[in-house]
Amino acid sequence: MPQTILPWEQGTFPLMLAPMQGVTNRIVRKLYVESVRPDAVFTEFVRIKRELRKRISAADRLEIEPVGDVPLIVQLIGYGAVELTEAARQMVDAGVQHINLNLGCPFGRTTSGLTGGNVLRNTENLPTILAGLRAVVPGSLSVKIRSGYADPRQIFELLPLFEAVGLDFLILHPRTVVQKYTGCADHALTREVVQATSLPVIANGDINRTAFGNKLRIDANPAGLMLGRGGIADPVLFQRLRGQAPATPDSAERRQILGQTLTGLLPGYREIFCGDHQILSKLKAVLSAMGVPELEAEIVRLKRIQKLDAFAAAVNRLLP
């Protein structure tokens, strides 16, 4: 049996930066790799097109280049086994090692085809999709999944399929698709899933504090953690969870980290985005992804600013 190729070193506990649409572009990933070094990073959605020659957009092709030696996992979202398999083949031909299928986004299409979390509304084609992907992906193949569409225990019906098709790991966000982002992630369910499968399970959802992440690691025994909003609001959370930084930042440190993050992104955003309006809009998208109440007042003030120069000046005032 060929050795499994995982995007983290065997025997380690990986901390991953979550894929967040409109946020974790290549400039964000570069900043994180250079500053706090997640054990793996993800692309935003690579949306699969129906046209064979345009299956993957030129913009998405720019996003699949890794930064340094931190593994990059390309996340596909789309429908149709043929389309997804061909897109994965093109990615592999372009040098991609690790591919993830999104089965969690609560905003997938429901008319022209089921995508993202809406695939869980009707899983009839899922075995064919996963088998097709497995046949063309020589590196790791994984899914990022909600616990179910409406039933939070639907995940247990799917675990035998994931094991049989040869997935290498799964990332579980223990909310249902219909919940979207309301309520709390049910990590008691994460623990049950870890116990029910031989696959490595990466825990995702509401990991905003060092104490919570450490408790989750003990209580649920996942193979690793994925940080989303918590990691965007506090990039140092990766280091805190490794014991390399103080566990709890005070308000002054939070403001400083916010300023450093936005200042660090601005030069790269000037390179890849067009005009002050788009740059400002993209920076505000990062602000919108931050889910820490302590920063709410500062974030609201920054989001009200309408000019890029004024925004940059306000960000500089956050720095010591």
**Which pTM value belongs to this model?**
0.94
Q: What are 67-108's pLDDT values in tens digits?
A: 889 999 999 998 889 989 999 998 999 999 999 999 998 876
Distance of alpha carbon 206 from alpha carbon 208, whole angstroms: 6
Q: What are 101-155's pLDDT values in tens digits?
A: 999 988 765 445 678 999 999 999 999 999 999 999 999 999 999 999 999 999 9
Distances (CA, A) of 127 to 16, 123, 132, 158, 289: 27, 8, 8, 10, 33
Q: What are 5-49's pLDDT values in tens digits?
A: 899 998 999 999 999 999 999 999 999 999 999 999 999 988 876
Length of the chain: 320
What is the mean predicted confidence (pLDDT) over 221-242? 97
Distances (CA, A) of 259 to 27, 99, 232, 234: 16, 33, 12, 11
Q: In the block, which residue shows the tokens 């995007």?
A: 7
Residues of the chain with CATH 3.20.20.70: 15-241
What is the mean predicted confidence (pLDDT) over 165-192? 96
The secondary element (H helix, E strand) that includes residue 135 is: helix 126-136
The topology (CATH level 3) of 15-241 is TIM Barrel (3.20.20)
Q: What pLDDT was estimated at residue 78?
A: 85
The secondary element (H helix, E strand) that includes residue 13 is: none
Q: What pLDDT was estimated at residue 1?
A: 37
